[in-house]
Amino acid sequence: MKANVYMGPYKLEVKDKPKPKVERPTDVVLKITATCICGSDLHLYHGLIAPDLPGQTLGHENVGVVDEVGSAVQFVKKGDRVVVPFNISCGACQFCNSGLWSMCDNANPYNPKGPGAAFGYAKLLGGYDGGQAEYLRVPWADTMCLKIPDNVRDDQAVLLADIFPTGFFGCDIAGVKPGHVVVVGGCGPVGLMAQMSALLRGAARVYATDRVPARLELAKKIGAVPINVDKEDPVKRILSDTDGWGADACVEAVGYEATGKGVMAPGPKVEAKPLVVLETLMKVAKKGAVIGMPGLFAPTPADPEGRVSFPLGAAFTKELGFRMGQCNVKNYNRYLMQAIADKRVDPSIVITHREPLEKAPQLYEQFDKREGGIVKVLLKP
């Protein structure tokens, strides 16, 4: 089968690989019908995560039709159209049982007491191949597979594998409530989904920052107030709009590759400003507010503990809260599926490119450069 394989920093190849099989009785194999490229894939693409990644098939946002079913799978049938969360979880351990699916204790054989597992992240997150391929092996299928109703399309359901739940999670951990003024740092797919989620949760006003015009345009379409950080100081604007009080809740949806310009990846484009968005949010947050941080802050090969210099005193003075981590997709995907099925929201507004899998390397490059109005890419094997 064809698969999009990571070969090294900035190097991908669509290659032939053996078709995955049922390895354990609780597995299914999906024939992939839609798979997306994520901002998280860019950290991998830049060579910042997982030194053993070469050879791995990427792709953790997957929808497919069940093609092969293990003998112990009870509730998923051949032919079911399903979406699977990016986090791989057993459904039975103490962490799964408390809704911390991303911390599953059984899914990562290489680091049992560490973080859980995900598709396409090499041994760091369990060593599972991803779904930017024709087929994908899904472990613990009864826990993982969420069936897609007939009135929800693949290009909507695929966003429930990660970014819509992740945006919603950002709002959830930030405590977004009806009537709140919310600031979302970043208008990438996750930021846009956080803005949509904040409005779904009843926020009165949602500010959205970025510097890419096409992305700010989408934020506006979603109903947020866009602020181009290269043209306007978001701190001045938001404090002035709120009588100096600031926002009730904030979501950091950019992560450690936040920039003035360029990226912090190896290569010539280095201008790392990992905390620039977080520090902006700390300035616009109302006293006592919580900043939800779905944006990724991971250790890097250069900095194995992920240390950053952080204005802790400023946070203490305002009694700010910070919550972060992987989204526990299974806590949200079923409900957001219902919201899509009932036509309350349509997250597919963020998909700007629908292309064959073969074009993955070129689309990664384009997505990385944020060229040609690209926001979210759906690949069709």
Ligand X SMILES: NC(=O)c1ccc[n+]([C@@H]2O[C@H](COP(=O)([O-])OP(=O)(O)OC[C@H]3O[C@@H](n4cnc5c(N)ncnc54)[C@H](O)[C@@H]3O)[C@@H](O)[C@H]2O)c1
135 bridge partner residues: 31
90 binds, among Zn ion, ligand X, none (CB under 5 to 8 A by kind): Zn ion
Token pair belonging to 335: 């409900």
Query: From CA 171, how far away is CA 254, in angstroms rounded?
Result: 14
The amino acid occupying position 165 is P
Give the shortest CB-267-to-Zn ion separation in angstroms: 23
43 binds, among Zn ion, ligand X, none (CB under 5 to 8 A by kind): ligand X
137 bridge partner residues: 29
The amino acid occupying position 33 is T
The DSSP secondary-structure symbol of 91 reads: S
45: Cα separation from own chain's centroid: 15
User: Stretches 37-45, 256-264, 269-277, 314-322: which one binds Zn ion (CB under 5 A)?
Assistant: 37-45
Nearer to Zn ion, 43 or 180 (CB): 43
Contact (CB, 8 A) for 120 and 59: yes
Give the shortest CB-256-to-ligand X separation in angstroms: 7
**Which one among 22, 42, 84, 96 touches Zn ion, defined by CB under 5 A?**
96
Query: From CA 286, how far away is CA 319, in angstroms rounded?
Result: 9
User: Stretches 26-34, 45-53, 58-66, 231-239: which one binds Zn ion (CB under 5 A)?
Assistant: 58-66
The structure tokens 């112990």 sit at: 72
Q: Do you know the residue count of the chain?
A: 381
Count Cβ atoms within 10 A of the Cβ of residue 153 and give its class: 0-12 exposed, 13-18 middle, 19 or more buried. middle
Give the shortest CB-315-to-Zn ion separation in angstroms: 28
Q: Kindly state whether residue 93 participates in binding Zn ion, applying the rule CB under 5 A.
A: yes
Query: Going residue by residue from 162 to 181, which x/- string records binding to Zn ion, judged by CB under 5 A?
Result: x-------------------
Give the shortest CB-63-to-Zn ion separation in angstroms: 13
Binding residues for ligand X (CB under 6 A) = 38-40, 42-43, 162-163, 166, 185-191, 209-212, 215, 229, 253-255, 258-259, 276-277, 294-296, 326-327
Q: Kindly state whether residue 132 participates in binding Zn ion, applying the rule CB under 5 A.
A: no
**Which one among 69, 76, 88, 104 touches Zn ion, defined by CB under 5 A?**
104
Give the shortest CB-46-to-ligand X separation in angstroms: 11
Query: From CA 230, how far away is CA 23, in angstroms rounded?
Result: 51
Token pair belonging to 89: 């979880």
**Which one among 32, 73, 90, 182 touches Zn ion, defined by CB under 5 A?**
90
Give the shortest CB-276-to-ligand X separation in angstroms: 5
CB neighbour list of residue 319: distance below 8 Å, 6 or more residues apart? 287, 288
Query: Going residue by residue from 145 to 164, which x/- string records binding to Zn ion, judged by CB under 5 A?
Result: -----------------x--
Give the shortest CB-135-to-ligand X separation in angstroms: 23
Which of 102, 117, 121, 118 has its CA nearest to residue 50? 121
Query: From CA 225, how far away is CA 229, in angstroms rounded?
Result: 13
Contact positions toward Zn ion, by CB under 5 A?
Answer: 38, 40, 61, 89-90, 93, 96, 104, 106, 162
